[in-house]
Amino acid sequence: MTAAELVLDARNATGESPVWRAQEAALYWADIPRGLLQRWQPGQGKARQWQLPQMLACMAAWQGEPQRWIAGLEDGIYQVTLGDGGAHTQPLATVDHAMPGMRFNDGRCDRQGRFVAGSMLMDMAAAQPVGKLYRLGADDLAAGRAQDLQLGPLITPNGLAFSPDGRTMYLSDSHPRSQQIWAFDYDTDSGTPRNRRLFVDMTGLPGRPDGAAIDAEGCYWICGNDAGLVHRFRPDGQLDRSLPLPVKKPAMCAFGGPGLDVLYVTSIRPEGIDLSDQPLAGGLFALRPGVSGMEETEFRPL
């Protein structure tokens, strides 16, 4: 196991939703408040960027379309097409936010290719439990409306992940008033989570539960925001290990590299505070944790 390596001094405000695309040998990720979709390949010193018209919170690759993505923005779920002239966005599904000032947050595809994503109030200090978890599959896409999975109350839904067989869904609430991670039985036919149960209570562990990934052994990796750690939990909820990073706010992790054995971690660069003790905040990091990950399922519109 090697120490965390800075692979790109991205200086992202909030680096999130890293996705490795094996056919390109490239990592994509978002900078939420700046509305940037970014792409980086190992060996390159600079990332390519596309500007979107809204904040970009989460995304997944579109099956069979190398330049196309599905993404959770501020007011809904969009198709994003990348080109040399910029990014084109097209609305796919609307949602009824509970109040103004909301956006999407963490999201990814389940193992069947449905897009699942949560929403949150951007003013975290308000601690309003108005967040929801939505699903957009082929049937929902035809109707132009994402399905509310009725999992509230949630303040800051995060840590979404699916077990290797797709039958367990993980979800966290990273708000300081919650810091819980839950597991659900997941109906792979209907895309419906049931039997919510506590997986890990993070209040007694370092860091708040932020973005997550699953490895090939079915273990759950989650960023310990504020603690500068990435934790690995076994399927029984026991903490297996914690890996340090040189920044306090790792945001989300994803497996990549030719063998899916590199754990990439995005991070946050807070405004208005002294960063002399963490000058690399907002950077993109790589770890070699000694295990391989799962390839991300792409969105299947049919």
| Cα–Cα separations (whole angstroms), residue 259 to 216, 290, 291, 297 | 11, 11, 10, 16
- pLDDT bracket for residue 302 (50, 70, 90): confident
pLDDT digits (tens, 9 = 90+) for 55-102: 999 999 999 999 999 999 999 999 999 999 999 999 999 899 999 999
Tokens of 51: 């500007």
Active site residues: 210
Look at residue 86 in the predicted model and tell me its pLDDT: 96
CA–CA separation, 219 and 209 (whole Å) = 15
Asked if residues 183 and 199 have their Cβ atoms less than 8 Å apart, the reply is yes
Asked if residues 184 and 193 have their Cβ atoms less than 8 Å apart, the reply is yes
Residue 296: DSSP 8-state: P
Q: Is 148 annotated as a binding residue?
A: no
Single-letter amino acid, residue 147: Q
Look at residue 152 in the predicted model and tell me its pLDDT: 80
| Cα–Cα separations (whole angstroms), residue 253 to 92, 159, 260, 286, 288 | 26, 10, 12, 9, 12
CA–CA separation, 76 and 119 (whole Å) = 10
Q: Is 210 annotated as a binding residue?
A: yes
pTM: 0.97
Whether 2 shows a pLDDT value over 90: the answer reads no
First to last CA, the chain: 41
Q: Which of 68, 86, 117 is nearest to 301 (CA)?
A: 68
Look at residue 45 in the predicted model and tell me its pLDDT: 80
Look at residue 1 in the predicted model and tell me its pLDDT: 53
3-state secondary structure of 142: helix
Q: Is 16 annotated as a binding residue?
A: yes
Look at residue 256 in the predicted model and tell me its pLDDT: 98
Chain mean position to CA 302 = 23
| Least confident stretch, 124-128, 148-152, 290-294 | 148-152
The kind and range of the H/E element at 139 are helix 138-143
Q: Is 24 annotated as a binding residue?
A: no
CA–CA separation, 172 and 131 (whole Å) = 12
Tokens of 203: 């209040």
Tokens of 265: 């971690």
Whether 172 shows a pLDDT value over 60: the answer reads yes
CA–CA separation, 210 and 175 (whole Å) = 9
Tokens of 44: 């390159």
CA–CA separation, 230 and 3 (whole Å) = 12
Tokens of 162: 């699916």
Q: Please give the order of strands across the beta sheet that includes 220-225.
A: 208-214, 220-225, 229-233, 239-244
Look at residue 105 in the predicted model and tell me its pLDDT: 97
Query: For the chain, how many residues are written?
Result: 302
| Percent of the chain whose predicted confidence (pLDDT) is above 70 | 99
Give me the mean pLDDT over the 181-190 stretch. 97
CATH numbers and ranges of domains, the chain: 2-288 (2.120.10.30)
Give me the mean pLDDT over the 225-247 stretch. 98
Q: Is 225 annotated as a binding residue?
A: no
